[in-house]
Structure 1
């Protein structure tokens, strides 16, 4: 069920949506859906690990692109998004370290809100 890598998902999403911002939004929604599924009673630790890893890979790609000084996005916005990326990395590590006391809710909300913003700016 969770066998695709983030890069493969990006390629598959690219076939479905031509606009780069729409592809990014679709990936964030997909990651949010994986994270949401980990909240089900039937979810396993492997499901959580996959969802967190998938989300981290997506954010790693985003942050890498945003750190490029030639990126078309205004620098203050890029910096805010990089900070969100750093938060997701840190929160992911906290969840992996102690999954009983941390939730994926903030990661889900971040992904959904950023996706909504990407789609609104199309």
Structure 2
């Protein structure tokens, strides 16, 4: 390695670019949604159970976050997210008992992804 290459490497940025909270949330929800969709499409019940568990953990985390009085989101949005977390928990139990389809869970996640993808402030 020559001295120019060594200097370029030494002064190159060492950290990844800073990502917004919104982009991190989008990536996490997209990953979970992808697994859920794959399991539904393949009609693979064991993988569906795994995806449902991961999705439920995601929504429980979101519910905990929006229930925090210090959360900066508008109260109305926090309430809607909390309601979706409750719906997700209820629907997941029914899907696990094979009484309902997992498609509504997929639709909820997809709607959230669309909202996160939009530019501008969260309302």
* TM-score in same-fold range (> 0.5): yes
1:117 aligns with 115
Please tell me the root mean square deviation across aligned C-alpha atoms, in Å. 1.9
1:105 aligns with 103
Asked which structure has the greater RCO (Cα within 8 Å, sep 6+), the reply is: 1
5+ unaligned residues in a row in structure 2: which ranges? 1-15
CA distance in 2, matches of 1:86, 1:16: 35
Segments of 4+ moved more than 6 angstroms: none
Aligned residues: 105
Contact 2:26 2:116 in 1 (8 A): yes
Contact 1:17 1:23 in 2 (8 A): no
Computing the radius of gyration over CA atoms, which structure comes out larger, 1 or 2?
2
TM-score, scaled relative to structure 2: 0.77
5+ unaligned residues in a row in structure 1: which ranges? 1-14
